[in-house]
């Protein structure tokens, strides 16, 4: 019975929540979390597809879930312009066994952007909203999110030349004699005060943090 169900691709997929609502004026709502549960005795691979991939960043859009475990999928809205208010998008989570490519099951989650939580209607969706959403998804296509799998950030090309040069200057400054030292072959005009060395050490520390983040 289970093998027939798997072959047909009707494996139930358990995802929470089933609807994502983003609010333009609430920065904290721009990041949402989908939790994918795996109650089965075998591991599952998953893939996240979307009808509007350019509007969202999906961290870890592909991955695996161990048996009887769950995984959190972070979704961030990247474009909260007014032209997207009230537009319904869809995410599709496809799951399959580790050794197979064919999807065993899928679950779709709606996503919409609203201007403000304070303007959220107290009642459930109106019939007009339901009708508009059905019309919008009648011929919807899903696209992979691989281009936005991680946070949007510059490619790790290493620190800039200016950062490296500034770091070298600070290191040389720290190596120079302190003002007042007598036994030194370095010319007196190259002796630095304690305050100048403290500034150089502080700048060098900041540059180190910048380099580690790139």
pLDDT at 127: 53
pLDDT at 147: 41
149 falls within a domain = no
Which residues of the chain are modeled with pLDDT < 50? 1-5, 122-124, 137-138, 146-156
* 188 located within any domain: no
> How much is the pLDDT for 91?
94
**Which long-range contacts link 132-135 to residues 24+ away (Cβ below 8 Å)?**
132/88, 133/88
Q: Does 142 map to a domain? A: no
Domain residue limits at 25? 14-115
CATH number at residue 57: 2.60.40.10
Q: 111 with 166, same domain? A: no
| Same-domain pairing of 75 and 167 | no
**Residue 40 shares a structural domain with residue 108:** yes
The total number of structural domains in the chain stands at 2
95, 115, 135 - which closes a domain:
115
The answer to whether residues 18 and 106 belong to one domain is: yes
- Claim to verify: residue 37 and residue 92 sit in the same structural domain: yes
Q: Please check whether residue 47 lies inside any domain of the structure.
A: yes
Tell me whether residue 61 is in a domain: yes
- Residues 108 and 201 grouped into a single domain: no
Same domain for 110 and 168? no
Strand-pairing partners, residue 22, are 113
């Amino acid at each position: 019975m289970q093998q027939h169900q798997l072959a047909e691709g009707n494996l139930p997929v358990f995802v929470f929540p089933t609807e994502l609502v983003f609010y333009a004026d609430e920065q904290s709502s721009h990041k949402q979390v989908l939790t994918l549960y795996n109650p089965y005795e075998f591991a599952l691979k998953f893939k996240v597809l979307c009808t509007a991939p350019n509007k969202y960043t999906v961290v870890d859009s592909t991955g695996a879930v161990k048996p009887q475990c769950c995984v959190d999928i972070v979704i961030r809205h990247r474009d909260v312009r007014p032209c997207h208010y009230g537009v319904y998008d869809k995410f599709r989570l496809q799951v399959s066994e580790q050794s197979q490519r064919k999807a065993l099951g899928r679950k779709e989650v709606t996503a919409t952007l609203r201007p403000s939580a304070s303007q959220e209607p107290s009642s459930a969706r109106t019939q007009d909203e339901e009708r508009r959403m059905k019309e919008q998804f009648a011929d919807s296509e899903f696209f992979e999110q691989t281009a936005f799998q991680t946070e949007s950030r510059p490619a790790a090309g290493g620190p800039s030349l200016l950062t490296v040069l500034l770091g070298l200057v600070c290191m040389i400054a720290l190596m120079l004699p302190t003002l007042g030292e007598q036994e030194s072959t370095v010319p007196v005009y190259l002796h630095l005060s304690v305050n100048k060395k403290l500034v150089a050490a502080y700048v060098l520390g900041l540059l180190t943090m910048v380099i580690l983040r790139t």
